[in-house]
Amino acid sequence: MLINTIILFLRDALPIFVISTILISLLQHQGIKPIWYFIAAGVSVIFSFLLLTAIDDISHTIDSTGREWLYACLYIICYFIALVLLMQLPKMQGQLSTRQHWNICLCAGSLMVIVITLNSANFLIYITGYWFQNNASNVLVAGVILGGGICASIAVLLYFLMAFIERYCRVIAQFLLIFFSAGLLMKATNLLIQIDILSSERFLWDSNHIIIENSELGQLLTVFVGYDATPTMLQLLLYLSAIFIAFGLMFLPTVISKQSLTITLPKEAA
């Protein structure tokens, strides 16, 4: 039970630690203090318990597919929030207006609230379901502490790795946010396929023989880039479109502003 608790904790908590690290690092670069994070974390705790009490009833709505609908819709919303956040970020440091400041905090905060709420409600179902079974509480607490330690270590490593890579690639946090949010979109498509809303043709490939989805590396890749060992054509197309749209929105304003600069400069000179 201890190992199972650690595995389940890692599965549900790792995305929270990863997105926290990415967003804290991203907003720190814009000179935003992490007060937004503490507020978001507090709100998430309340929402998680609210969701935990309601999830049983939600699950049984819409012909027992309510939970999938809720999670898929919120994951899709997460992707769009990430897009808005990327669009709000100024291209040059020190250009942040008050409105942009609040917009960025709001986007980052709501992204955090959704991710924490959905993931922690998942884990709370397990904890609350088995807490009173055969005096399992000690094992569950030990599992959470060990899992928390592993997640915290990964988050700290990621933070310093990002700080190192930023010397060579300034937009590493943005890149990670794009892949993370595209991964959430993949989760949403999986849920919609599971309840027969999206059509599920055969898997395009099965890369389980290269990287097993259930392995440690597989889990890490799932969190960071939305790795799926058995994707369908529809999922692949949606994933690639999601990434291209996000990169387009990130780089297009820079390209347009550069072009307008080259057009206006000679006129000004004349």
Partner 1 sequence: MVNVRSKFVQGVIVAFILLSLPSLAKRPEFQLILKNHLFYPAEIEIPANTKVKLIIHNQDQTPEEFDSFDLNREKVIFPQKKAVIFIGPLLPGRYEFFGEFNPNSAQGAIVVKSSKLNAKVNQNTLIDATALSSNSPDKPVTQQALVKELNRAD
Regarding 53 and contact with partner 1 (CB under 8 A), the answer is: no
Measured between alpha carbons, how far is 16 from 115 in angstroms, rounded to an integer? 6
Residue 120 sits in the site that holds partner 1 (CB under 8 A): no
Sign of torsion over alpha carbons 250, 116, 186, 53: negative
The residue within the footprint of partner 1, chosen from 47, 49, 126, 175 (CB under 8 A), is 126
Binding residue for partner 1, selected from 35, 53, 54, 60, defined by CB under 8 A? 60
Cα torsion through 185, 186, 189, 194, rounded to 10:
-140
Rounded to an integer, what distance in angstroms lies between the CA atom of residue 122 and that of residue 181?
19
Q: How far is the CB of 208 from partner 1 (least distance, A)?
A: 7
Nearer to partner 1, 39 or 144 (CB): 144
Closest CA to 177 of 60, 34, 62, 81: 81
Of 189, 162, 146, the residue nearest 21 (C-alpha): 162
Among 42, 53, 54, 56, interactor with partner 1 by CB under 8 A: 56
CB of 88 to partner 1, least distance (A): 18
Q: Which of 211, 236, 224, 212 is nearest to 183 (CA)?
A: 224
Dmax (CA) for the chain in angstroms is 84
Measure the CA angle with vertex 122, ends 208 and 3; round to 5°.
60
Using CB under 8 A as the binding rule, whether residue 125 contacts partner 1 is answered as: yes
Count of CB atoms situated within 10 Å of the CB of 91? 12
Tell me, residue by residue from 193 to 222, as one string, x for binding to partner 1 by CB under 8 A and - for no binding. xxxxxxxxxxx----x---xxx--------
Residue 234 touches partner 1, criterion: CB under 8 A: yes
Which residue, 133 or 259, has its beta carbon nearer to partner 1? 133
Q: Is 48 in the site for partner 1 (CB under 8 A)?
A: no
Provide the minimum distance between the beta carbon of 259 and partner 1 in the complex, in angstroms, as a whole number: 21
Site map for partner 1, 135-174, x if CB under 8 A? Answer: ----------------------------------------
Q: What is the C-alpha end-to-end distance of the chain, expressed in Å?
A: 76
Question: Minimum distance between the CB of residue 11 and partner 1, rounded to whole angstroms?
Answer: 9
- Cα separation values, 39 from 27, 31, 106, 125, 148, Å: 15, 17, 11, 24, 21
Query: Does the footprint of partner 1 cover residue 63 (CB under 8 A)?
Result: yes
The residue ranges that bind partner 1 (CB under 8 A) are: 4, 8, 55-56, 59-60, 63-65, 67-68, 122, 125-126, 129-130, 133, 190, 193-203, 208, 212-214, 228-230, 234
